[in-house]
Amino acid sequence: MIEARPLSTQARRLAAILAAVSLLAACDPATQSATAEPPEPGVLEATRDGPADARPGSCWGKTVSPAVIESASQRVLVKPAKVNPDGTIASLPVYETKEQQVIVTPRIDNWFETPCPNVLTPEFISSLQRALQARGGYGGAVSGIFDPATRDAVLRFQRQQGLESAVLALTTARTLGLVAVERQPTD
């Protein structure tokens, strides 16, 4: 039989240090499991770092269409059949089913032009809020601040247009009458 003795001060300190180290390891991103949710795709603010063919000085937003991956199973020959000299089968072939991930549709970065940050003045944002309010998409105060309520209203409006982003697209600003449509050169 083992006799229970109280822990020494040194043993208690060692236990406390081990507990603290294990708690710190749980905070380290390298030790976190892969089940943590990835960051939301796309950009949250307009950026001048757009696609490779972007017009100089233009600003861009981006949404990401994730890759579509499917599992496919395939039978693979592991051991071929053994055939006797007289043509009879001595042993049947052995097959194994292997699962494989197949990319059906690759990830796509969907770039869209946006008004640049210098255009997004309090007056412009107030006009945006009023335009969304007039269409029943914004119920907040006209503050001139691109706050979460404004961002949500932009997202809802653009979602109806097929764009899943809270970053104001230039086409949306034109639709709302906030940005002039550029003239096309005539031949």
Answer yes or no: is 149 within a domain. yes
**pTM for the structure as a whole:** 0.57
Gyration radius from the chain CA atoms = 31
Answer yes or no: is 72 within a domain. yes
Answer yes or no: is 4 within a domain. no
Answer yes or no: is 126 within a domain. yes
The CATH number given to whatever domain includes residue 138 is 1.10.101
Which letter does DSSP use for residue 47 in this model? B
Q: Rounded distance, CA 21 to CA 12, Å? A: 14
Mind listing the pLDDT tens digit of every residue in the chain (187 residues)? 445 455 455 655 655 554 444 444 444 444 333 333 333 444 556 778 888 888 888 999 888 888 999 999 999 999 999 999 999 999 999 999 999 999 999 998 889 999 988 889 999 999 999 999 999 999 999 999 999 999 999 999 999 999 989 999 999 999 999 988 676 666 5
CB 140 within 8 A of CB 130: no
Domain shared by 97 and 131, yes or no = no
DSSP code per residue over 49-103: ---TTPPTT-EEEEEEEPPEEEEEEEEEEEEPPEE-TTS-EEE--EEEEEEEEEE
Domain shared by 145 and 100, yes or no = no
Domain shared by 73 and 119, yes or no = no
Answer yes or no: is 94 within a domain. yes
Domain shared by 100 and 116, yes or no = no
Answer yes or no: is 140 within a domain. yes
Percent of the chain's residues with pLDDT above 70: 72
Answer yes or no: is 10 within a domain. no
Answer yes or no: is 81 within a domain. yes
Domain shared by 115 and 169, yes or no = yes
Domain shared by 127 and 158, yes or no = yes
Domain shared by 114 and 168, yes or no = yes
Q: How far is CA 100 from CA 67, 95, 97, in A?
A: 15, 16, 10
Count of CA atoms in the C-beta half-sphere (13 A) of 94 = 5
Tell me: the pLDDT tens digits for 26-75?
444 443 333 333 334 445 567 788 888 888 889 998 888 889 999 999 99
Domain shared by 134 and 99, yes or no = no
Containing structural domain, residue 72? 68-105
* φ, ψ of residue 112 in degrees (nearest 5): -140, 140
Nearest to 101 by CA among 142, 125, 71: 71
Domain shared by 155 and 121, yes or no = yes
* φ, ψ of residue 24 in degrees (nearest 5): -65, -40
Domain shared by 124 and 138, yes or no = yes
For the chain, how many structural domains are there in total? 2
